[in-house]
Amino acid sequence: MARRIEMDNAKRLYKHAMRLFGNGRPESYSELFSLMSQAADAGSVEAIGALGTFYDYAIGTKKSASQAVKHYRKAALLGNHDAQYNLGLALYEGRGVKRDQKEAARWFRKAAGEGLPEALHQLGYCYRYGHGVRKNQAKGLELEMQAAKSGYSEAQFSVGVCYSRGEGVPSDPKEALKWFLKAAKHGHKDAAHNVAHFYETGRGVREDKKRAEFWYSRAKQ
């Protein structure tokens, strides 16, 4: 019974902290960090992972990559998928911890197993280029496609790249353009630039200078 009360309190503190964070008032960030710390101490796994982000981006506290990794790892080991992804990124980039792409891929895989689009994309990228795993472009595209179909623009762009270059699949300019368009409509600037280039050169589509100009302008916004 006492444990349940503690967890209810942890959840209440975490929700209160997130509401405060949603207000976006810089003067409240130190209070936000304090509340999130209380929630973490009370046992909220989400709060522990959030503290990693706070240390990563200096939200209400001094920036500390090592503290970020410490909290990401703690939450990741407790099963928090966002923390697993963030820990993977830190390991992949060597930020606050020794760079280890093999270990990074392991954490991306855990988070991807729960369908986290960012993790699916990052694990797909690892397979496409052999970072921490045996290179397998077809497997990489499969993972990128899962993330792309969920609406994640970075993965949509990557799928476009795969079809454009023929990575893990035969080159298909029309299919590449389709995915670049999806990403561009979500505000992805590199995708918008590629869409413009396809229209300008008539690759995978009928040449259309006006549409090319439109997408070049979108790429610059």
Residue type, 19: R
Regarding predicted confidence, which is higher, 162 or 19?
A: 162
Asked if residue 72 lies in contact with residue 46, where contact means CB atoms within 8 angstroms, the answer is no
* pLDDT recorded at residue 28: 72
Q: Which of 146, 138, 66 is nearest to 108 (CA)?
A: 146
The 10s digit of each residue's pLDDT in 53-91 is 999 999 889 999 999 999 999 999 999 999 999 999 999
* pLDDT recorded at residue 213: 98
The 10s digit of each residue's pLDDT in 36-55 is 898 899 889 999 999 999 99
Between CA 67 and CA 69 the distance in angstroms is 5
3-state class (DSSP) for residue 130:
coil
* pLDDT recorded at residue 31: 82
Residue 23 CB coordination number (10 Å): 8
Q: What is the mean pLDDT of residues 87-99?
A: 98
Within 8 A by CB and 6+ apart from 165, the residues are: 171
pTM tops 0.75: yes
pLDDT at residue 113 is higher than 90: yes
pLDDT bracket for residue 23 (50, 70, 90): low
Q: What average pLDDT does the chain have?
A: 91
pLDDT at residue 1 is higher than 80: no
The sign one gets for the Cα dihedral 25, 29, 34, 35 is positive
* pLDDT recorded at residue 5: 33
Q: For tokens 């790429």, what's the residue?
A: 219
Within 8 A by CB and 6+ apart from 5, the residues are: none
pLDDT bracket for residue 110 (50, 70, 90): very high
pLDDT bracket for residue 29 (50, 70, 90): confident
Q: Which of 100, 179, 187, 107 is nearest to 141 (CA)?
A: 179
Which class for 194: exposed (0-12), middle (13-18), buried (19 or more C-beta within 10 A)? buried
